[in-house]
Structure 1
Amino acid sequence: MWTKEFFGTDVYHLVSAFVIYSMLGWLVESIYMSFCNRRLTNRGFAKSPFCPIYGFGAIIGYLILHPLDGHFFKLYLLGALMATVFEFLVGNLMLKLFGEIWWDYKDKPCNYKGIICLESTIAWGFYAVIIIVFLHSKIIGFIDSWSFSMGSRVCSLILAIVTIDYIIQLSKAFGIDIRERCADKYESFKARWY
């Protein structure tokens, strides 16, 4: 599985980069929001330092935009547009699933329904240039500095922890008591065998 290729990159590098971008995105946003709020702020949905929207955004953006490396103006414009559309789609999906969005741009000038705003669009363009021109090659170099066996284990462990964390948080968001369900399943299993 790790060696299959998509868009000229193997799954191992895509997944590893996804993990790193998700953690970096959480870090940057949490630092920014902590500064804005003047108190420590966890900007992730779950308890773990992981925001998958940044991982997906960076990987999808890289796969689509890397041919524009060296064409800064086109890269900036297309990166800003793509990220804004992505943010808008994710925001609408969150509204449908949870009835709310986990960010609010209503106080920002030039916003649309508090989901997207001009300030973020401008920032997304700069992020696209930074990722394509400078950051992605460094991240791939970091991934390659680990042995494949160690890197795949670390990625698998991080993704397992994040998956458990997200299951717990999603169950809380939807009002599902996991402990009660697990206890019921255990009692049912026990009743069949004892």
Structure 2
Amino acid sequence: MNLTELAVKTVYWFFLYGFIGWGVEVVYAAVKTHALVNRGFLCGPICPIYGFGMVGLVYSVNLIPLPDSGSLSAVAVFFIGMALTTAIELVGGWALFKIYHIRWWDYSNMKFNLGGYICPQFSLLWGLGSVLMIKVFHPLLARGSNPMPFKVMLILDIVLLLIFAVDVGVSTAAAIGLNKYLREIDELRARLRVTSDKLTTVLGTGAMTADAVLDEQKLQLALAKLEGRENAAELRAEVTARVSDLRDKLAAAEHDHIGARRLLRAFPGMKSLKYGETLATTRAAMVHLRELAANARETAATAAANAKEKIKKA
């Protein structure tokens, strides 16, 4: 096999195993959360870390000299795979954190973790997965890809690389946008806290809660307590404006299926060094917004059904 054929084959394996890894992540998340979520950093169905890991593992195993024509033992594959994939996970997690200032996955709650990027529990799983892939699945996939003509594989690689390049660009912009979004939410929350403090001073008790910020009915109940108070109209207008700005920003993220919303759902363990509290609050708020929307749809459906029933009786 010449260098051109080797390069084409390598790109093919990268995309194939990146797709398989993405599928494993989606299935794992579906079993754990009972919801289908794109668990990759990219928009498309691929997790590059799995592609790099398997390509590196396949070549590492094949490049190790053996005294005969036999293959490496499962034990050797286990340790090679565990070391290689753990190193890739460590470097990948560290690089993403340094670039975006966000920890996309976090093993801090696991024993003997290293910086939250890697932990022995998952390293053992990577080792076991490496044995399964090298000893069972890769030989089957290799035989299945052999009949594919070289030109077909070359064209496929080129098309996938172009799509991949666009996806990387879009996803990078989304990750940068997420940091900007969190900063904007943080600023809005700070302004709302100032206004809430004014409200507390006037009423003598805390009036603004997370529910009141998102639920119009609860907000109006809180504002009703201002009746008859000094500067009530001015304070009511300020509270309403601050709450409206925050709601609009949170709602925008809930409808951003490529950017903030997708990334927040894809990485439930995501942590932000600078906007940690804001990130946690935003997650909770988006869940609450979805619940409010679901309740509104249910109420509307019930009202429509009752109206139809009245029409029939009439």
Fold conserved between structures, TM > 0.5: yes
Deviation at 1:16, TM superposition (A): 0.7
**Residue matched to 1:34:** 30
Gaps of 5+ in 1: 176-194
Q: Is the 8 A contact 1:70 1:133 kept in 2?
A: no
Q: Is the 8 A contact 1:22 1:50 kept in 2?
A: yes
**Residue matched to 1:59:** 55
What is the distance in 1 between the residues matched to 2:102 and 2:111? Answer: 20
Deviation at 1:108, TM superposition (A): 3.1
What is the distance in 2 between the residues matched to 1:19 and 1:141? Answer: 17
What is the distance in 2 between the residues matched to 1:103 and 1:42? Answer: 14
Tell me the SS of whatever aligns to 2:39.
coil
Q: Is the 8 A contact 2:57 2:80 kept in 1?
A: no
Sequence identity of aligned pairs in percent?
27
**Residue matched to 1:19:** 15
**Residue matched to 1:188:** none
What is the distance in 2 between the residues matched to 1:57 and 1:71? Answer: 19
Tell me the SS of whatever aligns to 2:103.
coil
**Residue matched to 2:196:** none
Deviation at 1:3, TM superposition (A): 4.7
Q: Is the 8 A contact 1:105 1:115 kept in 2?
A: yes
Deviation at 1:133, TM superposition (A): 1.5
**Residue matched to 2:168:** 166
Deviation at 1:40, TM superposition (A): 0.9
- Superposed structure 1 runs of 4+ greater than 6 Å apart: none
Q: Is the 8 A contact 1:46 1:165 kept in 2?
A: yes
**Residue matched to 2:91:** 89
Which of these two proteins has the greater Rg computed from alpha carbons? 2
Q: Is the 8 A contact 2:56 2:84 kept in 1?
A: no
What is the distance in 1 between the residues matched to 2:88 and 2:171? Answer: 23
The count of residues paired between Structure 1 and Structure 2 equals 172
What is the distance in 1 between the residues matched to 2:108 and 2:32? Answer: 16
Tell me the SS of whatever aligns to 1:22.
helix
Q: Is the 8 A contact 2:57 2:84 kept in 1?
A: yes
1:108-187 aligned within 5 A: 108-175=110-177
**Residue matched to 1:186:** none
What is the distance in 2 between the residues matched to 1:56 and 1:140? Answer: 17
Q: In the superposition, relative to structure 1, how do residues 59 and 43 fare at CA in structure 2: closer, same or farther (>3 Å)?
A: same
Tell me the SS of whatever aligns to 2:41.
coil
Tell me the SS of whatever aligns to 1:112.
coil
Deviation at 1:25, TM superposition (A): 0.6
Using structure 2 for the length normalisation, give the TM-score: 0.51
